[in-house]
Amino acid sequence: MCSIIGFTTKEITKEQILAQFAAVESRGPDMTEVLETKGAWLGFARLAIMGLSPEGMQPFTDGESAVVCNGELYGFRSLKQQLATKGYTFVSESDCELLLPLWQEYGVEMFAKLDAEYALILYDAKSGTVIAARDPIGIRPLFYGYTKDGAIAFASEAKALVANCHDIMPFPPGHYYKDGQFICYRDMTAVAAYTDEDLESVCTQIHDKLVKGIEKRLDADAPLGFLLSGGLDSSLVCAVAQKLMPNKPIRTFAIGMETDAIDLKYAKEVADFIGSDHTEVIITKQDVLTALPTVVRLLETYDITTIRASMGMYLVCKAIHETTDIRVLMTGEISDELFGYKYTDFAPSAEAFQQEAAKRVRELYMYDVLRADRCISGNSIEGRVPFGDLDFVAYVMSIDPKKKLNTYGKGKFLLRHAFEKDALLPEDILMREKAAFSDAVGHSLVDDLKAAAEERYTDEEWKACAEKYAYHAKPFTKESLMYREIFESAYPGMAKMVADFWMPNKDWEGCNVNDPSARVLANYGTSGM
């Protein structure tokens, strides 16, 4: 994970830009460089993952044009070979070194060609313009804002812009910026036609595409680890990865509260079954409450479920950073958005399910993807998300939603059935119902956060305080107010960076609830057991 920054005004000094990097130091602790081009400042703070030599340091420049990128470009070696036949030369093993040659060959058409999770800023000397772009899901973060003289600026996190910019907002995924316009180059939710394959063929495709997505993400020059909750998604990622790398146990990590950690036993069952080198991290109520302000500032959000789920994720990543040499972590995010949550069992129709999935995929960059990025990068580690593989996501979105509805008596049936024959996991894990991550770390985690909010405000105080934020995403519980006030203390007036609170679709029967946790749904059953 790295950090990038770009200013299109020369009113900002190099010293000011270097100072802004200090706000996101954890993203790129190895080395920092700021380059002045004819038309822009470009800055890069490095966390070396691919091409660990000094030659892999950015910005990459041909002497006039330049680029900075926080990303992983899959299949980059073959692309380099293709570009070499056209006369381009490369001096490092970095995947991002090929971006300038790609730009020179294809211009803005290059973005649709990338199989990558990335955010980049590029200065093109030929046209004298600055171009920025972000991957179609938004796995890698990017924000933009405007300086006092009206110039646009870009950075990996909003906190790197707050000292010099206003109107800071997330850069839209699947877009590039050029000549003052944000242009969509790929919408992952757009489906021209549903596939007409039968159930078994669909499951075969799910299986093969996910395995391929995991395999390509195992490529790293730095030590690799895996987050393992014991749920279906992370367990599949770990099991497939261990099968692909049979000569050495992969390193897996699970976290739980000291009193009622639901997932620890399931994670250990998976670890024992696949033979991983497994570590458990145990946390306390005090650990959670102490970390809360840090986590909210790190996340740059006040969203309830994002913060709840981040507490455990941040603390396990913190432990990994402090006790191991791991620099890359594989995670299980982006499965629920594609195959369904507990609440999508209440979808009134197949088309409603599809529309909800599209909404969730479009908003990933504000919620689950944001959580994974900040919790991992906040501890100087890079996160990789196999379920976010572009080919995989595009295919799952193209499956007839009638097949994705829970008519099987088991949520996410297609994903489970796709791996049933492999016997990579114990049957009880493969068929285990989903538990909300924040709850599965321990029901007491959420209960402790709610109790802290209760102690912080009287009923009259929270209602009065909530009115201050009625202009956008008004807090509706004491807990949501507590998060909003921590957020506002760090990012005053910037609440519109997040569209709203993540909640189930309240228009659906059975989903009109006042808490985002699946624990409050009627169909939760034994999911959290």
Which domain CATH number covers 471?
Answer: 3.40.50.620
Q: Taking CA 81 as the corner, what is the angle to CA 79 and CA 84, rounded to the nearest 5 degrees?
A: 110
What SS3 class is residue 59?
A: coil
Confidence tier at 529 by pLDDT (50, 70, 90): low
205 and 153, same structural domain? no
- Asked if residue 192 belongs to a domain, the reply is no
**Section 491-500 average pLDDT:** 94
Nearest to 3 by CA among 38, 22, 64, 386: 22
Flag whether pLDDT at 519 surpasses 90: no
Please confirm, yes or no, whether 2 is among the known catalytic residues. yes
- Residue 455: which residues within 8 A CB-CB, separation 6 or more? none
Range of the domain at 367: 199-520
215 and 176, same structural domain? no
- Asked if residue 191 belongs to a domain, the reply is no
Taking the C-alpha atoms of residue 329 and residue 506, their distance in angstroms, rounded to an integer, is 34
- How many structural domains comprise the chain? 2
Q: Which of 150, 184, 218 is the last residue of a domain?
A: 184
| H, E, C per residue of 175-200 | EEEECCEEEECCCCCCCCCCECCCHH
User: What letter would DSSP give residue 262?
Assistant: S
CB-CB contact of 34 with 121 (8 Å): no
pLDDT tens for 133-159 read 999 999 999 999 999 999 999 999 999
- Share the mean pLDDT of the chain: 94
Confidence tier at 400 by pLDDT (50, 70, 90): very high
State phi, psi for 182 to the nearest 5 degrees.
Answer: -100, 120
Confidence tier at 440 by pLDDT (50, 70, 90): low
Confidence tier at 435 by pLDDT (50, 70, 90): low
64 and 38, same structural domain? yes
**Section 348-355 average pLDDT:** 98
- Of the chain, the percentage scoring pLDDT greater than 90 comes to 86
Confidence at residue 259, expressed as pLDDT on a 0 to 100 scale: 84
Confidence at residue 288, expressed as pLDDT on a 0 to 100 scale: 96
CB-CB contact of 439 with 414 (8 Å): no
Flag whether pLDDT at 131 surpasses 80: yes
77 and 13, same structural domain? yes
Confidence at residue 295, expressed as pLDDT on a 0 to 100 scale: 98
pLDDT tens for 421-431 read 999 999 999 99
- The catalytic residue among 2, 165, 238, 511 is 2
Confidence tier at 227 by pLDDT (50, 70, 90): very high
Taking the C-alpha atoms of residue 517 and residue 361, their distance in angstroms, rounded to an integer, is 19
CB-CB contact of 370 with 409 (8 Å): no
- Asked if residue 528 belongs to a domain, the reply is no
246 and 120, same structural domain? no
40 and 147, same structural domain? yes
Flag whether pLDDT at 1 surpasses 90: no
More confident residue, 345 or 517: 345
Confidence at residue 526, expressed as pLDDT on a 0 to 100 scale: 56
233 and 359, same structural domain? yes
